[in-house]
Structure 1
Amino acid sequence: MAKKKNQFEKDIESVVGFLKQTDPKNATRANAIKMLGSMQTLAHLIAHKVVDKERSEELKKAIKKKTKT
C-alpha cells in the first residue's frame, strides 16, 4: 500500500508541476487531485467504450456465423 501512496504522491506532484506551467493560478494540490480523478474517470469511460465495441463486434461475428450454418 505504501508503494501506491508514493506513486499517487508522485502523480500529484507531476500534475501540480504541469498546472504551474499551464495554469499557475490553479496549481494547487487539491486541483491536481481533482484533475487526476477526472482523468481516471475519463480513462474508465474510454475503456468501457472499447470493451463494448469489441463485444459488439464479437456478437455480430457470432450471429453471422450462426446464420450461415
Structure 2
Amino acid sequence: MFNFGIFLLLLGAVLVYATVPIIKIFNITTTKGILVVKLSGLALAVIGAIIMFFAQFPQRLEFLRLI
C-alpha cells in the first residue's frame, strides 16, 4: 500500500503542476474545467499521502520513519 500511496501522490502532483500541457492536450478552455483538473490532482495527492502515512513502511525505507 505504501507504493500505491506514493503513486497516487506523484500522479496528483503531475496533475496539479502540469495543468497547462493537460489543458492544451484535452482542449479545456473554461475556468471550471481547469479547476476540475487541479482539484482532482489535489484530491489524489491527499488520498495518496494518507495511504502512504498509514501503510506499513518497506523494510529498506524504515530509517526514514520519524514516528
Larger helix share, 1 or 2: 1
The structure with higher relative contact order (CA 8 Å, sep 6+) is 2
So what's the TM-score if we normalise by structure 1? 0.47
